[in-house]
Structure 1
Protein backbone atom coordinates (compact mmCIF):
# COMPACT_ATOMS: atom_id res chain seq x y z
CA UNK A 1 0.00 0.00 0.00
CA UNK A 2 1.53 3.30 -1.09
CA UNK A 3 1.38 6.42 1.10
CA UNK A 4 -1.13 7.99 -1.28
CA UNK A 5 -3.48 5.02 -1.04
CA UNK A 6 -3.10 4.92 2.74
CA UNK A 7 -3.89 8.64 2.97
CA UNK A 8 -7.02 8.20 0.85
CA UNK A 9 -8.25 5.39 3.09
CA UNK A 10 -7.60 7.43 6.24
CA UNK A 11 -9.64 10.32 4.80
CA UNK A 12 -12.37 7.80 4.01
CA UNK A 13 -12.23 6.54 7.61
CA UNK A 14 -12.83 9.99 9.09
CA UNK A 15 -15.52 10.77 6.51
CA UNK A 16 -17.25 7.47 7.22
CA UNK A 17 -17.36 8.06 10.97
CA UNK A 18 -18.87 11.50 10.32
CA UNK A 19 -21.73 10.26 8.14
CA UNK A 20 -22.49 7.47 10.60
CA UNK A 21 -22.64 10.09 13.37
CA UNK A 22 -25.12 12.06 11.26
CA UNK A 23 -27.21 8.91 10.81
CA UNK A 24 -27.21 8.34 14.56
CA UNK A 25 -27.95 12.01 15.29
CA UNK A 26 -31.20 11.95 13.28
CA UNK A 27 -33.69 10.46 15.74
CA UNK A 28 -35.99 8.83 13.18
CA UNK A 29 -33.68 6.29 11.56
CA UNK A 30 -35.90 5.82 8.51
CA UNK A 31 -35.76 9.57 7.88
CA UNK A 32 -31.98 9.59 8.25
CA UNK A 33 -31.30 6.67 5.98
CA UNK A 34 -33.87 7.82 3.42
CA UNK A 35 -31.95 11.07 3.06
CA UNK A 36 -28.53 9.41 3.10
CA UNK A 37 -29.44 6.70 0.58
CA UNK A 38 -31.45 9.11 -1.56
CA UNK A 39 -28.65 11.67 -1.49
CA UNK A 40 -26.22 8.98 -2.59
CA UNK A 41 -28.53 8.05 -5.47
CA UNK A 42 -28.71 11.69 -6.61
CA UNK A 43 -24.92 11.96 -6.53
CA UNK A 44 -24.64 8.72 -8.50
CA UNK A 45 -27.02 10.05 -11.13
CA UNK A 46 -25.00 13.27 -11.35
CA UNK A 47 -21.76 11.30 -11.75
CA UNK A 48 -23.08 8.76 -14.25
CA UNK A 49 -22.73 10.87 -17.45
CA UNK A 50 -19.09 11.63 -16.65
CA UNK A 51 -17.77 8.19 -15.67
CA UNK A 52 -17.48 4.93 -17.63
CA UNK A 53 -20.40 2.52 -17.59
CA UNK A 54 -19.28 -0.67 -15.81
CA UNK A 55 -18.71 -3.53 -18.27
CA UNK A 56 -20.92 -6.61 -18.27
CA UNK A 57 -18.50 -8.57 -16.08
CA UNK A 58 -18.88 -6.07 -13.23
CA UNK A 59 -22.68 -6.00 -13.09
CA UNK A 60 -23.19 -9.29 -11.18
CA UNK A 61 -20.97 -7.90 -8.43
CA UNK A 62 -22.79 -4.58 -8.52
CA UNK A 63 -26.24 -6.16 -8.22
CA UNK A 64 -25.21 -8.50 -5.39
CA UNK A 65 -23.58 -5.59 -3.61
CA UNK A 66 -26.74 -3.50 -3.97
CA UNK A 67 -28.74 -6.18 -2.16
CA UNK A 68 -26.07 -6.46 0.54
CA UNK A 69 -26.06 -2.68 1.03
CA UNK A 70 -29.81 -2.66 1.58
CA UNK A 71 -29.42 -5.38 4.23
CA UNK A 72 -26.56 -3.35 5.73
CA UNK A 73 -28.67 -0.18 5.96
CA UNK A 74 -31.48 -2.10 7.69
CA UNK A 75 -29.08 -3.67 10.20
CA UNK A 76 -27.28 -0.38 10.82
CA UNK A 77 -30.59 1.38 11.51
CA UNK A 78 -31.42 -1.36 14.01
CA UNK A 79 -28.05 -1.25 15.76
CA UNK A 80 -28.19 2.56 16.09
CA UNK A 81 -31.74 2.35 17.44
CA UNK A 82 -30.88 -0.28 20.04
CA UNK A 83 -27.39 0.70 21.20
CA UNK A 84 -25.08 3.62 21.93
CA UNK A 85 -23.20 5.03 18.94
CA UNK A 86 -19.89 4.57 20.79
CA UNK A 87 -20.66 0.87 21.22
CA UNK A 88 -22.56 -0.08 18.05
CA UNK A 89 -20.16 1.66 15.68
CA UNK A 90 -16.92 0.03 16.97
CA UNK A 91 -18.48 -3.44 17.07
CA UNK A 92 -19.90 -3.18 13.55
CA UNK A 93 -16.78 -1.65 12.02
CA UNK A 94 -14.35 -3.74 14.03
CA UNK A 95 -15.99 -7.00 13.00
CA UNK A 96 -15.66 -6.20 9.30
CA UNK A 97 -11.85 -6.44 8.79
CA UNK A 98 -11.73 -9.76 10.63
CA UNK A 99 -14.28 -11.29 8.26
CA UNK A 100 -12.86 -9.50 5.20
CA UNK A 101 -9.50 -11.15 5.94
CA UNK A 102 -11.18 -14.57 5.78
CA UNK A 103 -13.29 -13.74 2.72
CA UNK A 104 -10.31 -12.27 0.87
CA UNK A 105 -8.36 -15.47 1.46
CA UNK A 106 -11.27 -17.60 0.21
CA UNK A 107 -12.43 -15.57 -2.77
CA UNK A 108 -9.50 -13.36 -3.78
CA UNK A 109 -6.65 -15.72 -2.80
CA UNK A 110 -5.11 -13.01 -0.60
CA UNK A 111 -3.80 -15.08 2.32
CA UNK A 112 -2.76 -13.18 5.48
CA UNK A 113 0.61 -13.78 7.12
CA UNK A 114 1.45 -14.19 10.78
CA UNK A 115 1.21 -10.47 11.47
CA UNK A 116 -2.37 -10.43 10.23
CA UNK A 117 -3.24 -13.44 12.40
CA UNK A 118 -1.88 -11.62 15.46
CA UNK A 119 -3.86 -8.54 14.46
CA UNK A 120 -7.05 -10.57 14.23
CA UNK A 121 -6.51 -11.95 17.74
CA UNK A 122 -5.93 -8.49 19.23
CA UNK A 123 -8.89 -7.03 17.36
CA UNK A 124 -11.15 -9.77 18.73
CA UNK A 125 -9.98 -8.91 22.23
CA UNK A 126 -10.73 -5.25 21.57
CA UNK A 127 -14.16 -6.05 20.20
CA UNK A 128 -14.99 -8.02 23.33
CA UNK A 129 -13.97 -5.07 25.48
CA UNK A 130 -16.06 -2.61 23.49
CA UNK A 131 -19.05 -4.94 23.61
CA UNK A 132 -19.08 -5.45 27.38
CA UNK A 133 -17.84 -2.02 28.56
CA UNK A 134 -20.42 0.06 30.33
CA UNK A 135 -22.61 -2.77 31.56
CA UNK A 136 -21.71 -2.17 35.24
CA UNK A 137 -23.85 -4.95 36.60
CA UNK A 138 -26.56 -4.59 33.98
CA UNK A 139 -27.43 -7.43 31.67
CA UNK A 140 -25.85 -7.11 28.22
CA UNK A 141 -28.07 -5.65 25.53
CA UNK A 142 -27.66 -8.71 23.37
CA UNK A 143 -30.11 -7.44 20.77
CA UNK A 144 -27.93 -4.37 20.17
CA UNK A 145 -24.73 -6.45 20.15
CA UNK A 146 -26.20 -9.00 17.73
CA UNK A 147 -27.41 -6.23 15.41
CA UNK A 148 -23.96 -4.61 15.42
CA UNK A 149 -22.22 -7.94 14.74
CA UNK A 150 -24.63 -8.70 11.90
CA UNK A 151 -23.93 -5.24 10.51
CA UNK A 152 -20.21 -6.08 10.55
CA UNK A 153 -20.85 -9.28 8.60
CA UNK A 154 -22.83 -7.33 5.99
CA UNK A 155 -20.00 -4.79 5.73
CA UNK A 156 -17.47 -7.56 5.20
CA UNK A 157 -19.61 -9.20 2.51
CA UNK A 158 -20.15 -6.07 0.44
CA UNK A 159 -16.53 -4.98 0.92
CA UNK A 160 -15.21 -8.12 -0.74
CA UNK A 161 -17.92 -8.12 -3.44
CA UNK A 162 -17.24 -4.48 -4.28
CA UNK A 163 -13.47 -4.93 -4.20
CA UNK A 164 -13.76 -7.67 -6.80
CA UNK A 165 -16.41 -5.73 -8.73
CA UNK A 166 -14.38 -2.53 -8.89
CA UNK A 167 -11.40 -4.50 -10.15
CA UNK A 168 -13.58 -6.21 -12.76
CA UNK A 169 -14.98 -2.86 -13.89
CA UNK A 170 -11.59 -1.24 -14.35
CA UNK A 171 -13.24 2.07 -13.38
CA UNK A 172 -13.97 2.33 -9.64
CA UNK A 173 -15.74 5.69 -9.88
CA UNK A 174 -18.06 4.39 -12.59
CA UNK A 175 -18.76 1.40 -10.38
CA UNK A 176 -19.55 3.52 -7.30
CA UNK A 177 -21.80 5.85 -9.32
CA UNK A 178 -23.96 3.02 -10.61
CA UNK A 179 -23.91 1.23 -7.27
CA UNK A 180 -25.41 4.35 -5.68
CA UNK A 181 -28.02 4.59 -8.43
CA UNK A 182 -29.09 0.93 -8.18
CA UNK A 183 -29.24 0.55 -4.41
CA UNK A 184 -29.99 4.14 -3.40
CA UNK A 185 -33.67 4.20 -4.35
CA UNK A 186 -34.92 1.25 -2.33
CA UNK A 187 -35.13 2.82 1.12
CA UNK A 188 -36.55 6.13 -0.18
CA UNK A 189 -39.19 4.21 -2.16
CA UNK A 190 -40.21 2.30 0.97
CA UNK A 191 -40.31 5.53 2.97
CA UNK A 192 -42.54 7.27 0.41
CA UNK A 193 -44.91 4.30 0.48
CA UNK A 194 -44.99 4.25 4.28
CA UNK A 195 -45.49 7.98 4.78
CA UNK A 196 -48.15 8.26 2.03
CA UNK A 197 -48.19 11.94 1.14
CA UNK A 198 -46.30 13.17 4.20
CA UNK A 199 -42.83 12.65 2.72
CA UNK A 200 -41.79 16.28 2.27
CA UNK A 201 -42.98 17.43 5.70
CA UNK A 202 -41.34 14.41 7.33
CA UNK A 203 -37.96 14.96 5.68
CA UNK A 204 -37.83 18.77 5.71
CA UNK A 205 -36.56 19.38 9.31
CA UNK A 206 -33.32 17.42 8.78
CA UNK A 207 -33.07 17.42 4.97
CA UNK A 208 -29.78 19.32 4.71
CA UNK A 209 -28.12 17.29 7.45
CA UNK A 210 -29.24 14.01 5.91
CA UNK A 211 -28.16 14.98 2.40
CA UNK A 212 -24.76 15.96 3.79
CA UNK A 213 -24.57 12.46 5.21
CA UNK A 214 -25.32 11.07 1.75
CA UNK A 215 -22.51 13.13 0.20
CA UNK A 216 -20.03 11.99 2.87
CA UNK A 217 -21.13 8.38 2.40
CA UNK A 218 -20.43 8.45 -1.34
CA UNK A 219 -17.10 10.21 -0.85
CA UNK A 220 -15.96 7.75 1.82
CA UNK A 221 -16.88 4.65 -0.12
CA UNK A 222 -15.62 5.97 -3.43
CA UNK A 223 -12.16 6.47 -1.90
CA UNK A 224 -12.23 2.96 -0.45
CA UNK A 225 -13.25 1.36 -3.75
CA UNK A 226 -10.46 3.21 -5.54
CA UNK A 227 -7.99 2.01 -2.89
CA UNK A 228 -9.16 -1.59 -3.31
CA UNK A 229 -8.08 -1.47 -6.94
CA UNK A 230 -4.58 -0.41 -5.81
CA UNK A 231 -3.98 -2.66 -2.78
CA UNK A 232 -5.14 -5.93 -1.24
CA UNK A 233 -8.63 -6.05 0.24
CA UNK A 234 -7.83 -6.96 3.85
CA UNK A 235 -5.28 -4.17 4.56
CA UNK A 236 -7.58 -1.57 3.01
CA UNK A 237 -10.53 -2.82 5.08
CA UNK A 238 -8.37 -2.84 8.20
CA UNK A 239 -7.04 0.68 7.72
CA UNK A 240 -10.51 2.00 6.96
CA UNK A 241 -11.65 0.78 10.36
CA UNK A 242 -9.37 3.25 12.09
CA UNK A 243 -12.66 5.15 11.95
CA UNK A 244 -13.47 3.17 15.11
CA UNK A 245 -11.46 5.62 17.19
CA UNK A 246 -13.09 8.61 15.46
CA UNK A 247 -16.51 7.08 16.06
CA UNK A 248 -15.83 6.41 19.74
CA UNK A 249 -14.59 9.98 20.20
CA UNK A 250 -17.67 11.39 18.43
CA UNK A 251 -19.87 9.28 20.70
CA UNK A 252 -18.18 10.72 23.78
CA UNK A 253 -18.06 14.36 22.63
CA UNK A 254 -21.32 14.83 20.71
CA UNK A 255 -23.61 12.22 22.24
CA UNK A 256 -22.23 12.42 25.82
CA UNK A 257 -21.63 8.66 25.93
CA UNK A 258 -19.19 7.32 28.48
CA UNK A 259 -15.76 6.57 27.10
CA UNK A 260 -13.73 5.59 30.14
CA UNK A 261 -10.41 3.79 30.59
CA UNK A 262 -11.71 0.28 29.70
CA UNK A 263 -13.07 1.52 26.38
CA UNK A 264 -9.80 3.37 25.68
CA UNK A 265 -7.91 0.11 26.23
CA UNK A 266 -10.38 -1.84 24.07
CA UNK A 267 -10.19 0.73 21.27
CA UNK A 268 -6.40 0.70 21.57
CA UNK A 269 -6.32 -3.07 21.11
CA UNK A 270 -8.45 -2.66 17.98
CA UNK A 271 -6.06 -0.09 16.56
CA UNK A 272 -2.98 -2.20 17.33
CA UNK A 273 -4.66 -5.21 15.77
CA UNK A 274 -5.51 -3.20 12.67
CA UNK A 275 -1.92 -1.99 12.50
CA UNK A 276 -0.64 -5.55 12.58
CA UNK A 277 -3.04 -6.51 9.81
CA UNK A 278 -1.67 -3.63 7.77
CA UNK A 279 1.75 -5.23 8.07
CA UNK A 280 0.63 -7.83 5.51
CA UNK A 281 2.33 -7.38 2.15
Structure 2
Protein backbone atom coordinates (compact mmCIF):
# COMPACT_ATOMS: atom_id res chain seq x y z
CA UNK A 1 0.00 0.00 0.00
CA UNK A 2 1.53 3.32 -1.03
CA UNK A 3 1.53 6.25 1.31
CA UNK A 4 -0.89 8.05 -0.99
CA UNK A 5 -3.50 5.41 -0.12
CA UNK A 6 -3.59 6.34 3.57
CA UNK A 7 -6.11 9.19 3.31
CA UNK A 8 -8.38 9.22 6.34
CA UNK A 9 -5.83 7.40 8.50
CA UNK A 10 -4.52 8.95 11.69
CA UNK A 11 -0.93 9.81 12.64
CA UNK A 12 0.01 10.90 16.16
CA UNK A 13 2.99 13.23 16.62
CA UNK A 14 4.79 13.28 19.99
CA UNK A 15 7.33 16.10 19.85
CA UNK A 16 8.19 18.85 22.37
CA UNK A 17 9.87 21.16 19.83
CA UNK A 18 7.11 23.33 18.31
CA UNK A 19 8.98 23.94 15.04
CA UNK A 20 9.63 20.22 14.43
CA UNK A 21 6.08 19.41 15.53
CA UNK A 22 4.65 21.85 12.98
CA UNK A 23 6.92 20.47 10.29
CA UNK A 24 5.82 16.90 11.01
CA UNK A 25 2.19 17.99 10.87
CA UNK A 26 2.78 19.52 7.44
CA UNK A 27 4.68 16.49 6.08
CA UNK A 28 2.17 13.92 7.33
CA UNK A 29 -0.88 15.97 6.33
CA UNK A 30 0.54 16.29 2.83
CA UNK A 31 0.99 12.50 2.84
CA UNK A 32 -2.73 12.02 3.48
CA UNK A 33 -2.89 11.59 7.25
CA UNK A 34 -5.12 13.24 9.80
CA UNK A 35 -2.60 14.37 12.40
CA UNK A 36 -2.90 14.62 16.19
CA UNK A 37 0.01 16.61 17.62
CA UNK A 38 1.14 16.38 21.25
CA UNK A 39 4.06 17.87 23.14
CA UNK A 40 4.97 15.27 25.76
CA UNK A 41 5.02 11.53 26.40
CA UNK A 42 1.92 11.29 28.60
CA UNK A 43 -0.29 13.28 26.22
CA UNK A 44 1.12 11.23 23.35
CA UNK A 45 0.23 7.94 25.04
CA UNK A 46 -3.30 9.20 25.67
CA UNK A 47 -3.60 10.31 22.03
CA UNK A 48 -2.47 6.91 20.75
CA UNK A 49 -4.98 5.20 23.04
CA UNK A 50 -7.82 7.52 21.99
CA UNK A 51 -7.21 7.73 18.23
CA UNK A 52 -5.63 4.36 17.34
CA UNK A 53 -3.17 5.83 14.81
CA UNK A 54 -1.55 3.74 12.12
CA UNK A 55 1.68 5.76 12.51
CA UNK A 56 3.21 7.57 15.49
CA UNK A 57 6.32 9.75 15.41
CA UNK A 58 8.09 10.02 18.73
CA UNK A 59 10.84 12.37 19.93
CA UNK A 60 13.47 10.74 22.14
CA UNK A 61 14.65 13.70 24.21
CA UNK A 62 11.56 15.07 25.92
CA UNK A 63 11.32 16.53 29.44
CA UNK A 64 9.74 14.21 31.97
CA UNK A 65 8.97 10.91 30.28
CA UNK A 66 11.50 10.33 27.50
CA UNK A 67 10.83 8.66 24.17
CA UNK A 68 12.17 5.25 25.23
CA UNK A 69 9.75 4.97 28.16
CA UNK A 70 6.91 6.39 26.08
CA UNK A 71 7.55 3.77 23.38
CA UNK A 72 7.53 0.95 25.92
CA UNK A 73 4.19 2.10 27.33
CA UNK A 74 2.63 2.49 23.90
CA UNK A 75 3.76 -1.01 22.97
CA UNK A 76 1.74 -2.51 25.84
CA UNK A 77 -1.53 -1.69 24.07
CA UNK A 78 -0.89 -0.53 20.48
CA UNK A 79 0.57 -1.86 17.23
CA UNK A 80 0.96 1.63 15.76
CA UNK A 81 4.06 1.98 13.61
CA UNK A 82 6.55 3.88 15.79
CA UNK A 83 9.17 6.12 14.18
CA UNK A 84 11.57 7.59 16.74
CA UNK A 85 13.24 10.93 16.02
CA UNK A 86 16.35 12.14 17.83
CA UNK A 87 19.16 14.65 17.57
CA UNK A 88 21.54 11.98 18.87
CA UNK A 89 23.07 9.43 16.50
CA UNK A 90 24.91 7.25 19.02
CA UNK A 91 24.58 3.55 18.26
CA UNK A 92 23.39 2.81 21.81
CA UNK A 93 20.47 5.22 21.36
CA UNK A 94 19.48 3.50 18.13
CA UNK A 95 19.56 0.08 19.78
CA UNK A 96 17.61 1.35 22.81
CA UNK A 97 14.97 2.76 20.48
CA UNK A 98 14.59 -0.50 18.59
CA UNK A 99 14.48 -2.52 21.80
CA UNK A 100 11.85 -0.17 23.26
CA UNK A 101 9.54 -1.10 20.38
CA UNK A 102 10.31 1.39 17.61
CA UNK A 103 9.77 0.27 14.02
CA UNK A 104 12.25 2.80 12.69
CA UNK A 105 14.67 5.45 13.90
CA UNK A 106 15.66 8.75 12.23
CA UNK A 107 18.29 11.27 13.29
CA UNK A 108 17.48 14.98 13.16
CA UNK A 109 17.73 16.82 10.86
CA UNK A 110 15.84 14.35 8.69
CA UNK A 111 14.60 14.61 5.14
CA UNK A 112 10.80 14.87 4.73
CA UNK A 113 10.78 12.52 1.75
CA UNK A 114 12.96 10.09 3.66
CA UNK A 115 10.40 10.00 6.48
CA UNK A 116 7.61 9.45 3.98
CA UNK A 117 9.50 6.67 2.21
CA UNK A 118 10.19 4.86 5.48
CA UNK A 119 6.52 5.08 6.46
CA UNK A 120 5.50 3.83 3.03
CA UNK A 121 7.75 0.79 3.47
CA UNK A 122 6.13 0.03 6.83
CA UNK A 123 2.58 0.37 5.50
CA UNK A 124 3.25 -2.31 2.89
CA UNK A 125 3.69 -4.86 5.68
CA UNK A 126 0.94 -6.48 7.77
CA UNK A 127 0.73 -5.65 11.45
CA UNK A 128 0.46 -8.32 14.13
CA UNK A 129 -1.45 -8.09 17.42
CA UNK A 130 0.50 -6.83 20.43
CA UNK A 131 2.25 -9.65 22.29
CA UNK A 132 4.45 -9.83 25.34
CA UNK A 133 7.42 -10.17 23.02
CA UNK A 134 6.51 -7.23 20.77
CA UNK A 135 9.75 -5.64 19.68
CA UNK A 136 11.23 -3.37 17.12
CA UNK A 137 11.41 -3.46 13.41
CA UNK A 138 13.62 -1.14 11.47
CA UNK A 139 12.33 -1.29 8.05
CA UNK A 140 14.49 1.32 6.45
CA UNK A 141 13.50 2.99 3.21
CA UNK A 142 14.40 6.39 1.90
CA UNK A 143 14.60 8.74 -1.05
CA UNK A 144 17.27 11.36 -1.63
CA UNK A 145 15.49 14.67 -1.06
CA UNK A 146 15.95 18.08 0.51
CA UNK A 147 16.69 18.65 4.18
CA UNK A 148 14.42 19.80 6.99
CA UNK A 149 14.08 23.54 7.57
CA UNK A 150 17.15 24.24 5.43
CA UNK A 151 19.44 22.16 7.64
CA UNK A 152 21.96 19.85 5.99
CA UNK A 153 22.32 16.15 6.68
CA UNK A 154 25.46 14.07 6.37
CA UNK A 155 25.67 11.76 3.41
CA UNK A 156 24.63 8.24 4.31
CA UNK A 157 27.11 5.38 4.17
CA UNK A 158 27.56 3.23 1.12
CA UNK A 159 27.84 -0.49 0.68
CA UNK A 160 31.04 -1.68 2.31
CA UNK A 161 33.57 -3.78 0.45
CA UNK A 162 33.52 -6.26 3.34
CA UNK A 163 29.79 -6.79 2.97
CA UNK A 164 28.80 -7.09 -0.68
CA UNK A 165 25.15 -7.53 -1.51
CA UNK A 166 24.64 -11.21 -2.24
CA UNK A 167 22.48 -12.40 -5.12
CA UNK A 168 18.91 -13.06 -4.09
CA UNK A 169 18.01 -16.72 -4.08
CA UNK A 170 14.80 -17.61 -5.88
CA UNK A 171 13.94 -21.21 -4.98
CA UNK A 172 10.60 -22.70 -5.82
CA UNK A 173 7.95 -22.35 -3.13
CA UNK A 174 7.24 -25.60 -1.27
CA UNK A 175 4.27 -27.46 -2.70
CA UNK A 176 2.33 -27.16 0.56
CA UNK A 177 3.41 -23.55 1.17
CA UNK A 178 5.47 -24.43 4.28
CA UNK A 179 9.23 -24.00 4.56
CA UNK A 180 10.78 -26.48 7.01
CA UNK A 181 14.20 -26.69 8.62
CA UNK A 182 15.27 -28.70 11.67
CA UNK A 183 11.78 -28.77 13.16
CA UNK A 184 11.08 -25.11 12.33
CA UNK A 185 8.15 -24.44 9.96
CA UNK A 186 7.08 -21.18 8.28
CA UNK A 187 4.14 -20.30 6.03
CA UNK A 188 4.47 -17.04 4.10
CA UNK A 189 0.82 -17.12 3.08
CA UNK A 190 -0.48 -17.53 6.62
CA UNK A 191 2.46 -15.65 8.21
CA UNK A 192 2.80 -18.38 10.80
CA UNK A 193 5.98 -19.78 12.34
CA UNK A 194 5.93 -23.02 14.33
CA UNK A 195 8.70 -24.66 16.31
CA UNK A 196 8.04 -28.13 17.62
CA UNK A 197 4.34 -27.62 16.89
CA UNK A 198 4.19 -24.43 18.99
CA UNK A 199 3.41 -21.15 17.22
CA UNK A 200 5.98 -18.39 17.76
CA UNK A 201 5.12 -14.69 18.07
CA UNK A 202 7.50 -12.78 15.83
CA UNK A 203 7.58 -9.15 14.79
CA UNK A 204 7.09 -8.24 11.11
CA UNK A 205 10.81 -7.82 10.59
CA UNK A 206 11.77 -11.02 12.39
CA UNK A 207 9.28 -12.96 10.27
CA UNK A 208 10.54 -11.48 7.00
CA UNK A 209 14.19 -12.10 7.88
CA UNK A 210 13.47 -15.71 8.82
CA UNK A 211 11.41 -16.24 5.65
CA UNK A 212 14.28 -14.89 3.53
CA UNK A 213 16.80 -17.24 5.12
CA UNK A 214 14.51 -20.26 4.85
CA UNK A 215 13.92 -19.51 1.17
CA UNK A 216 17.65 -19.15 0.52
CA UNK A 217 18.47 -22.36 2.41
CA UNK A 218 22.27 -22.57 2.73
CA UNK A 219 22.94 -19.60 0.44
CA UNK A 220 24.35 -16.65 2.38
CA UNK A 221 22.30 -13.45 2.67
CA UNK A 222 24.45 -10.43 3.50
CA UNK A 223 23.43 -7.75 5.99
CA UNK A 224 23.23 -5.27 3.13
CA UNK A 225 21.01 -7.64 1.17
CA UNK A 226 18.71 -8.17 4.15
CA UNK A 227 18.51 -4.43 4.86
CA UNK A 228 17.43 -3.83 1.26
CA UNK A 229 14.93 -6.68 1.52
CA UNK A 230 13.26 -4.98 4.47
CA UNK A 231 12.84 -1.77 2.50
CA UNK A 232 10.64 -3.43 -0.10
CA UNK A 233 10.89 -3.42 -3.87
CA UNK A 234 9.77 0.19 -4.37
CA UNK A 235 12.67 1.67 -2.41
CA UNK A 236 15.21 -1.13 -2.23
CA UNK A 237 17.97 0.79 -4.00
CA UNK A 238 16.75 4.36 -3.62
CA UNK A 239 19.15 5.13 -0.78
CA UNK A 240 22.48 3.60 0.21
CA UNK A 241 22.67 1.05 3.04
CA UNK A 242 24.53 2.52 6.01
CA UNK A 243 25.99 1.16 9.23
CA UNK A 244 22.80 1.86 11.16
CA UNK A 245 20.87 -0.33 8.69
CA UNK A 246 23.34 -3.18 9.19
CA UNK A 247 23.27 -2.80 12.98
CA UNK A 248 19.46 -2.90 12.89
CA UNK A 249 19.61 -6.22 11.01
CA UNK A 250 21.98 -7.55 13.69
CA UNK A 251 19.60 -6.50 16.47
CA UNK A 252 16.63 -8.16 14.78
CA UNK A 253 18.63 -11.33 14.15
CA UNK A 254 19.66 -11.37 17.81
CA UNK A 255 16.02 -11.04 18.90
CA UNK A 256 15.04 -13.78 16.46
CA UNK A 257 17.72 -16.10 17.84
CA UNK A 258 16.48 -15.43 21.37
CA UNK A 259 12.90 -16.33 20.47
CA UNK A 260 14.05 -19.50 18.73
CA UNK A 261 16.30 -20.42 21.66
CA UNK A 262 19.17 -20.68 19.19
CA UNK A 263 22.87 -20.45 20.00
CA UNK A 264 25.26 -18.36 17.91
CA UNK A 265 28.13 -20.64 19.00
CA UNK A 266 26.36 -23.88 18.02
CA UNK A 267 23.44 -22.80 15.82
CA UNK A 268 20.61 -25.11 14.91
CA UNK A 269 18.77 -22.64 12.67
CA UNK A 270 20.61 -19.34 12.09
CA UNK A 271 24.29 -19.36 11.27
CA UNK A 272 26.45 -16.22 11.14
CA UNK A 273 28.92 -16.04 8.27
CA UNK A 274 31.50 -13.69 9.75
CA UNK A 275 32.11 -10.55 7.71
CA UNK A 276 29.26 -11.32 5.31
CA UNK A 277 25.86 -12.13 6.80
CA UNK A 278 23.65 -15.10 7.64
CA UNK A 279 22.42 -18.45 6.34
CA UNK A 280 20.59 -21.50 7.63
CA UNK A 281 22.58 -23.90 9.77
CA UNK A 282 23.28 -27.38 8.46
CA UNK A 283 20.37 -29.80 8.25
CA UNK A 284 19.89 -32.08 11.23
CA UNK A 285 18.71 -35.35 9.70
CA UNK A 286 16.88 -36.31 12.89
CA UNK A 287 14.90 -33.06 13.18
CA UNK A 288 12.69 -33.07 10.06
Per the TM superposition, whether the score is higher than 0.5 is no
- Answer with 1 or 2: which has the greater Rg: 2
* Structure with greater strand percent: 2
Higher relative contact order (CA 8 A, sep 6+): 1
Instruction: Return the TM-score normalized by structure 1.
Output: 0.29
Instruction: Return the TM-score normalized by structure 2.
Output: 0.29
